[in-house]
Amino acid sequence: MAKVGLRRVLAAVVAVIFLLPLAVGGLASLLPTGQVATQQLGVPFSVPFDAWGWQNYAEVFQTIPFGQHLSNSFLIVILSVPPSVLISSLAAFFLTRSQPPWRTWLVAFAIVTMLVPPSAVWLFRFQLLSQIGLVDSRLALMLPALAGGSSLFVLIYFWAWQQAKADLFEAADIDGASFLQAWWRVALPLVHPATAAVTLLAFMLFWGNFIEPVLFIYNPDKYTVPIGLQLLNQLDASNRPLLLAGALIAIVPPMLLFLVTQRWFLQGEWTR
Amino acid sequence: MSKNNSTVIFLLPWLWGTTLLIVLPALAMFGLAFWDDGKFSVGAFQRLLTSNLVSISFYNSLFFLILAVPARTVGALFLALLLRPKSHRVARVAVFAPSVIPPPAWALIGLWLFNPLYGPINMLLTGIGLPGINWLVDENATRLMFVILAAFQLGEGFIVLLIGRAMLPEYLIDAARLDGAGRFGRFWYITLPLMLPWLALLTGRDLLVSLQGTFTPSFMITYGGPYYATTFLPLLIYELAFDFRDPALVAAVLLVLFSAVAGVCLWLWQKVVDHG
């Protein structure tokens, strides 16, 4: 009995600890600017409600063209996430239906490509993009989607299908279903947690990508949200509430998607 | 089950795309390490061994990894086991939430939290009578800051271990309970050994993920400072790569990094396979 109580207390403590950074950051974003010359925890404690700095959020859009950054980022994400999910899931289904030794080699390929330090590909990917004239284009940022986003997504789907019943796939084969039919009607519905996880991870990958826009984009019209945040950081570094307001705005889309999809992979079969 | 040749087309986008975007650039980069003035040379590796900046960067990265990877992996294991029961749904969501924060936004939040003069963390410390820590000014404190920032974003490992734990044969654990094994005994003798493959997988991957994750904060918050304390390998590579003085050196650093990570992964894999 006491053990159950202890566990519950621990869980609550853990939850609070992990929510603190976001909460404190959010509260601090509402500090009226110019107030951060004294030590203070955040908004409710030292600032009356009518003096809360809601205008900080508007000021973000006045300091940098954040609206344009947001629309660039949304464009990239909307065009990149569905192909990533599709391509990685189809490739993984192919893997699932293939036999060793092919399958072993392909899984090894997936794992090895995940071990390559991302920094190793910057230079030559830049060269590649210049050759095909795609430097300074948003398309350059979407290219990984055509490769399925990341080998991790392929592996997630592959492992999910490994857990599913193999005989279902054979049944589909006997019925004469094509690859696509088996994939769409039999295999995919079995792995909703994987689809939810990959969708979220793909969104996070394309939304939060910082280094690639820094390397490949020079036209300010095409800047994305991460660049916008760095611009804020450079233009007005001491205005911390403003920076936090920008950060909070950037956090909203992935966080909303997370809250919607978490029910598929944070609950259900993987919990007791 | 026969492999119909035409279905290969569904494999190709990922296969070719990954080859074009990752494999070929990486191979070209690694090859560059052996190329000097148009001929084969290992000079880059000699320069690697004598370069001060490179050794500082390796030291920083090692310091970071030794602290951050265990924190993230052990933390993820503890949390995955603690928060397994269905009723702890809210806590699971809370634990995963910081990991959803995009890196640039997390860097800006960190910039505020760890502000040595006005930030909440030092305010809390001084509030309970401890001295404030010189984040962003003292070298070790700044590196520790990066470790803490990385530790909060352990969501991916958390999920992997939740899955891993859920896939364990429950009857083994039940048998141990029936035999009278206590909570800790069950964990140490049954659960933990069974979870080793998952932990190995996670550790191997996390070495790379957490190191690469230092790029955005080190770029935005400290730009490698103070006094190069947070010049981790990814930032070093960025600084050197786009300054064409010595691409071979950059390539040599990358090759060493890749070999080290792959080596550790292979070693972990061997240990797990031996363990059975």
* Partners of B129 in beta bridges: none
A85 near B CB under 8 A: no
pLDDT tens figures, B157-166? 998 888 888 8
pLDDT of residue B275: 61
Sequence-distant (6+) residues with CB within 8 A of B42 are B34
pLDDT of residue B1: 41
pLDDT of residue A171: 65
Residues 131-160, chain A, touching B (beta carbon < 8 A): 143-144, 146-148, 151, 154
Considering A119-133, B27-41, B172-186, B232-246, the range whose residues carry the highest mean pLDDT is: A119-133
Read off the tokens for B238: 């960025």
* Chain B residues closer than 8 Å to A176 by CB: none
Q: What distance in Å separates residue A50's CA from the closest CA in chain B?
A: 22
Question: Which H or E run includes A246?
Answer: helix A240-265
Q: Residue B244 pLDDT > 80, yes or no?
A: no
Under the banding of pLDDT at 50, 70 and 90, the label for residue A2 is low
Rounded Cα distance between A199 and A82, Å, is: 8
Q: What distance in Å separates residue A54's CA from the closest CA in chain B?
A: 18
The SS3 assignment for A125 reads helix
Q: Residue A140 pLDDT > 80, yes or no?
A: yes
Closest of A60, A254, A86 to residue B17, by C-alpha: A86
Q: Do A233 and B90 touch (CB under 8 A)?
A: no
Under the banding of pLDDT at 50, 70 and 90, the label for residue B154 is very high
Under the banding of pLDDT at 50, 70 and 90, the label for residue B130 is confident
A104 near B CB under 8 A: no
pLDDT tens figures, A202-236? 999 999 999 999 988 999 999 999 999 999 999 98
Read off the tokens for B271: 């240990």
pLDDT tens figures, A122-131? 888 888 888 8
pLDDT of residue B127: 84
- Residue A255, burial from CB neighbour count under 10 angstroms (0-12, 13-18, 19+): middle
Please, what's the largest Cα pairwise distance for chain B? 71
Q: What distance in Å separates residue A260's CA from the closest CA in chain B?
A: 11
Rounded Cα distance between B190 and B170, Å, is: 10
Q: How many alpha carbons lie under 13 Å from residue B174 in its C-beta half-sphere?
A: 4
- ipTM of the complex model: 0.90
Question: Which H or E run includes B39?
Answer: strand B39-40
pLDDT tens figures, B51-71? 888 899 999 999 999 999 999
pLDDT of residue A224: 95
Residue contacts between A and B (CB atoms, under 8 Å): 289
Under the banding of pLDDT at 50, 70 and 90, the label for residue B2 is very low
Q: What distance in Å separates residue A97's CA from the closest CA in chain B?
A: 8
The model scores a pTM over 0.80: yes
* Chain B residues closer than 8 Å to A120 by CB: 25-26, 29-30, 254, 257-258
pLDDT tens figures, B4-28? 578 899 999 999 999 999 999 999 9
Closest of B104, B140, B79, B114 to residue B213, by C-alpha: B104
Q: How many CB atoms lie within 10 A of CB A162?
A: 12
pLDDT, mean of residues B205-227: 90
Q: How many alpha carbons lie under 13 Å from residue B78 in its C-beta half-sphere?
A: 13
pLDDT, mean of residues A25-51: 72
Q: Residue A44 pLDDT > 70, yes or no?
A: no
pLDDT, mean of residues A68-90: 96
Read off the tokens for A157: 């789907």
pLDDT, mean of residues B203-220: 91
Under the banding of pLDDT at 50, 70 and 90, the label for residue A160 is confident
Rounded Cα distance between B21 and B2, Å, is: 31
Average pLDDT, chain A: 87
Under the banding of pLDDT at 50, 70 and 90, the label for residue A166 is low
